[in-house]
Structure 1
Amino acid sequence: MAFDAEHETVLATLARRDRLDQAINKMAAQPQFSEVVHRLGCLRGVSTLTGFGLAVEIGDWHRFTGNTIGAFVGLVPSEHSSGASRAQGPDTQDR
């Protein structure tokens, strides 16, 4: 019984994921997102989900430069500084 209950939970979770994926694909195909999502999809490892997430989160891409987008998404080294000492740590995304 325990296995059957957990198996049903897994199946329900997979079905929910599939429904959400379909909804995201439908929203990503809307005109205000489709071009950006398509362009981001040309990058290795960027799927529709990731591209759509970035498109929605960033919104106006013109407010960033190549130097500032990394800081916004947390891909710059963290820094610990005190007085004259300065040390860079792992990317801020790793924290």
Structure 2
Amino acid sequence: MKAIWNDVVIAESNDTVEVEGNHYFPFDSIKQEYFKKTDLTTFCGWKGMANYYSVNVNGKINKDCAWYYAKPNDAASKIKGMVAFWNGIKIK
């Protein structure tokens, strides 16, 4: 699987986990140079507190387009250490 933004592969892995239609990529599969942590957090009743990244590729920023659960609830333990995408990030 590949995550693509602004025609650039920002994450690539053969070991994604699909939850609720989203592919979660291992942290070590994202290209760190494109990612910047943001202050946004959201809460999911069964997964826990999500933190976000914005992605900057060739000067184009996609704000809060990637999220992860640093300390997911037990029910979501399989996505610990993984990142998912939305907001125009193409997953192929």
What band does the TM-score fall into relative to the shorter chain? Answer: under 0.3
Bigger Rg over Cα: 1
* TM-score, with structure 1 as normaliser: 0.22
Which has the higher relative contact order, 1 or 2, with Cα contacts under 8 A spaced 6 or more apart?
2
Instruction: Give the strand-richer structure, 1 or 2.
Output: 2
* TM-score, with structure 2 as normaliser: 0.23
